[in-house]
């Protein structure tokens, strides 16, 4: 290990860069982090699986390697001041090893575990008094059927590790359970929560424990995938205050550094129930690029480098982000002029190969009202997805 690897703000590289940050993963989150890095004169070096990954395609320097390969992770860490992550798919033991070897990993392995292992997060946060849904381990279909009966005839089965965009979340009924219990993987069961609204509270926590909170976000899902976010969330101010308080306590409880996204369910009775955590920039924070004083990507970089955090206030009364989901092989890059013609929107194209249901980009719109922003963002995203052209 080079001694420089553990120092933040290491000696200038001679190329005008103020810091060098390694990021494990090179998807759209790393690509958008790259834009913030350029602005601040930071060198962001992604560890990419392929040179065509969204962030690798736009990076000056990159490392090609697998996040499963400790040697590749070590090579990245040894070459950078700080290492952060754009996803969860890194073996936890590798993260722990990097820290043991003295590399600056932010967030650290212990905090990141809450986003890597949903069963661990449920157990640990439930024991700490955070409002988690009722959950139980389950070995087989009979077990699960008994739990579903106990919970009113239905349950949610969740993959302990590796789920995203609704993959790894199964909504099952007691009656159909024997046939639908997954044959592979490790799962646990939880109660199906009655949901009035899904919310996301983004917190950024610095190395010194300073935190800032973004305005509360409503997330709208279809088939387990987030299709739209709306901010500020249309909930009573007491609910927004409770979300901010809960997420801020959580961030310090788990020792998060950087962006922490706390997904919450609001029940019809006004209760808040914790869903999952992400310790990295999050889809529910893309609206912050144009919609807030400081984007989640810039604040994530500032946090992991131990720099002061930026203001999180909204730049408009309402900000809506709509995801562009792949359909029929349409390429959003080709449809971009149509979307630009349709109205004042901020499109983002991730440079990914078009596949059905895949997040290929997003569109943000700022408005005087929620309705105005929602109409513009939704229309822009529909056009980019090949749904309708104007």
Ligand X SMILES: Nc1ncnc2c1ncn2[C@@H]1O[C@H](COP(=O)(O)OP(=O)(O)OP(=O)(O)O)[C@@H](O)[C@H]1O
Does residue 192 interact with ligand X by CB under 6 A? yes
Question: Which residue carries 């279909």 as its tokens?
Answer: 141
Of 250, 322, 241, residue with least CA distance to 286: 322
Does residue 169 interact with ligand X by CB under 6 A? yes
Q: Which CB, 124 or 195, lies closer to ligand X?
A: 195
Does residue 91 interact with ligand X by CB under 6 A? no
Q: Choose the binding region for ligand X from 48-56, 98-106, 189-197, 232-240 (rule: CB under 6 A).
A: 189-197
For ligand X, the binding residue among 43, 81, 117, 263 (CB under 6 A) is 263
Does residue 58 interact with ligand X by CB under 6 A? no
Cβ at position 256, least distance to ligand X in Å: 17
How many Cβ atoms sit within 10 Å of the Cβ of residue 85?
27
Q: What angle separates helix 332-342 from helix 370-384, to the nearest 10 degrees?
A: 150
Tell me the C-alpha to C-alpha distance, in Å, between residue 325 and each of 231, 294, 317, 321, 337: 20, 26, 26, 13, 18
Q: Choose the binding region for ligand X from 192-200, 296-304, 330-338, 352-360 (rule: CB under 6 A).
A: 192-200
For ligand X, the binding residue among 22, 27, 54, 168 (CB under 6 A) is 168
In the numeric block, which tokens belong to residue 376? 């513009």
Q: Which CB, 66 or 164, lies closer to Mg ion?
A: 164
Say which entry of Mg ion, ligand X, none residue 133 contacts (CB below 5 to 8 A, set by partner kind): ligand X
Residue whose beta carbon is closest to ligand X: 193
Tell me the C-alpha to C-alpha distance, in Å, between residue 148 and each of 124, 192, 275: 23, 9, 19
Cβ at position 302, least distance to ligand X in Å: 24
Q: Alpha carbon 129 to chain centroid distance?
A: 24
For ligand X, the binding residue among 79, 99, 271, 276 (CB under 6 A) is 276
Host H or E run for residue 73: helix 70-78
Distance CA 324, CA 307 (A): 33
Please report, to the nearest 10 degrees, the dihedral formed by the alpha carbons of residues 128, 134, 140, 144 taken in order: 180
Question: Which residue carries 């900000």 as its tokens?
Answer: 319
Q: Which CB, 99 or 276, lies closer to Mg ion?
A: 276
Q: Choose the binding region for Mg ion from 179-187, 258-266, 286-294, 316-324 (rule: CB under 5 A).
A: 258-266
Say which entry of ligand X, Mg ion, none residue 198 contacts (CB below 5 to 8 A, set by partner kind): ligand X
- Whether 253 and 243 have beta carbons less than 8 Å apart is answered as no
Q: Which CB, 199 or 305, lies closer to Mg ion?
A: 199
Distance CA 29, CA 91 (A): 19
Does residue 198 interact with ligand X by CB under 6 A? yes
Question: Which residue carries 């976000």 as its tokens?
Answer: 217
Residues of this chain, 261-320, that bind Mg ion according to CB under 5 A: 263, 276
Q: Choose the binding region for ligand X from 167-175, 208-216, 238-246, 347-355 (rule: CB under 6 A).
A: 167-175
Q: Choose the binding region for ligand X from 5-13, 67-75, 140-148, 158-166 (rule: CB under 6 A).
A: 158-166
Distance CA 70, CA 66 (A): 9
Say which entry of ligand X, Mg ion, none residue 193 contacts (CB below 5 to 8 A, set by partner kind): ligand X
Of 229, 383, 193, residue with least CA distance to 319: 229
| Distant-in-sequence, close-in-space partners of 161: CB < 8 Å, separation ≥ 6 | 88, 116, 117, 118, 186
Does residue 79 interact with ligand X by CB under 6 A? no
- Residue 30 phi/psi, 5-degree rounding, is -65, -35
For ligand X, the binding residue among 67, 108, 163, 386 (CB under 6 A) is 163
Of 184, 162, 186, 187, residue with least CA distance to 171: 187
Q: Choose the binding region for ligand X from 34-42, 106-114, 157-165, 244-252 (rule: CB under 6 A).
A: 157-165
SS3 292: strand
Q: Which CB, 10 or 197, lies closer to ligand X?
A: 197
Residues of this chain, 210-239, that bind ligand X according to CB under 6 A: 221, 224
Say which entry of ligand X, Mg ion, none residue 168 contacts (CB below 5 to 8 A, set by partner kind): ligand X
Note the residues at the interface with Mg ion (CB under 5 A).
263, 276
Query: Which residues in this chain contact ligand X in the complex, by CB under 6 A?
Result: 133, 156, 163-169, 190, 192-193, 195, 198, 221, 224, 263, 275-276
């Amino acid at each position: 290990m080079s001694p420089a690897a553990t120092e933040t703000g290491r000696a200038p590289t001679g190329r005008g860069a103020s810091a060098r940050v390694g990021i494990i993963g090179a998807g759209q989150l790393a690509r958008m982090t790259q834009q913030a890095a350029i602005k601040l004169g930071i060198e962001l070096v992604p560890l990419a699986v392929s040179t065509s990954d969204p962030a690798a395609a736009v990076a000056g320097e990159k490392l090609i390697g697998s996040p499963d390969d400790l040697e590749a992770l070590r090579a990245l860490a040894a070459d950078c001041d700080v290492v952060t992550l754009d996803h969860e798919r890194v073996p936890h033991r590798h993260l722990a090893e990097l820290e043991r070897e003295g590399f600056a990993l932010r967030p650290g392995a212990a905090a990141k575990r809450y986003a890597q292992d949903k069963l661990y997060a449920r157990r640990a946060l439930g024991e700490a008094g955070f409002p988690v849904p009722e959950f139980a381990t389950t070995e087989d279909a009979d077990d699960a059927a008994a739990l579903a009966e106990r919970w009113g005839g239905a349950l949610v089965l969740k993959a302990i590790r590796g789920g995203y965009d609704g993959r790894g979340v199964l909504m099952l009924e007691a009656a159909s359970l024997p046939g639908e219990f997954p044959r592979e993987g490790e799962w646990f069961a939880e109660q199906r929560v009655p949901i009035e609204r899904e919310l996301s509270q983004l917190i950024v926590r610095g190395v010194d424990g300073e935190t800032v909170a973004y305005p509360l976000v409503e997330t709208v899902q279809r088939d387990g995938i987030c299709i739209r976010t709306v901010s500020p969330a249309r909930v009573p101010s007491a609910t927004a205050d409770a979300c901010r308080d809960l997420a801020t306590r959580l961030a310090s409880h788990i020792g998060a550094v950087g962006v922490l996204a706390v997904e919450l369910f609001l029940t019809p009775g006004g209760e808040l129930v914790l869903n999952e955590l992400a310790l990295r920039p999050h889809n529910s924070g893309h609206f912050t690029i144009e919609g807030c004083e400081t984007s989640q990507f810039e604040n994530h970089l500032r946090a992991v480098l131990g720099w002061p955090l930026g203001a999180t206030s909204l730049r408009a009364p309402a900000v809506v982000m709509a995801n562009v989901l792949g359909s029929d092989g349409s390429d959003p890059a080709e449809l971009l002029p149509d979307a630009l013609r349709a109205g004042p929107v901020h499109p983002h194209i991730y440079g990914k190969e078009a596949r059905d249901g895949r997040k290929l980009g997003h569109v943000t719109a700022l408005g005087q009202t929620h309705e105005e922003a929602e109409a513009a963002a939704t229309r822009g995203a529909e056009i980019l997805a090949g749904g309708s052209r104007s």
